[in-house]
Copies of this chain bind each other. A is one copy, B any other.
Amino acid sequence: MELLKETILKKGKVLSGDVLKVGSFLNNQIDVKLLSAMADDVFAHFKDKKVTKVLTVEASGIAFACFIAERFSCDAVFAKKSMTTNVDGETFCADCYSFTHKTANKLIVPKEYLSEKDVVLVADDFLANGQAVNALISIIKDAGAELCGVAIAIEKGFQCGGDALRNRGVDIYSLAVIDEMNAGGIKFRA
């Protein structure tokens, strides 16, 4: 998606450790007009799917997931990274290691929010090693729901997650795929 790529080039910052900082427009501060255009683009790709839930991870995936869900007239669900006092009842659970934050998390979704009747579109702001997306797919499988695809804002194509999922036949739709990234610049996949 050209507008997102232009914004990444203009406002993104490449930090050490393969971190792309997009805090000024995608998370931390959110350019809502851009996010709306991104959701339109995702909807155009998946519009023939009868999506009943958009599933993401707190916190930075929530806005993207909600804007996409609005276009499918369905609910958004986000996995939490810890049990909180207002999660009761049974949950689906999957392990997820964050290479960015160097933390091991469990992703948790209460069972009442996903069922075998659901057709689920996964959405997240980043896809790198694929830990979060794989954990969400595992939760969808545990729920007996159908995975119809994965919508990603920015895929780090130089890491293995996206292509490994494509090789398994998952419909990964990334609005921007970065093939090279360093202090000298960012190169997108054509």
Contacts and interface: CB of A to CB of B under 8 A. Distances in A.
A2 to B, nearest CB: 21
A121 to B, nearest CB: 13
Interface stretch (A55-63, A160-168, A178-186): A55-63
Number of copies: 2
A105 B59 CA distance: 16
A24 interface: yes
Interface string A7-39: 000000101010101011101111111011000
Contact of A86 (B15, B25, B69): B15
Interface stretch (A42-50, A73-81, A130-138): A73-81
Interface of A: 13, 15, 17, 19, 21, 23-25, 27-33, 35-36, 58-59, 62-63, 66-67, 69-70, 73-78, 80, 84-88, 100-102, 109-110, 112-113
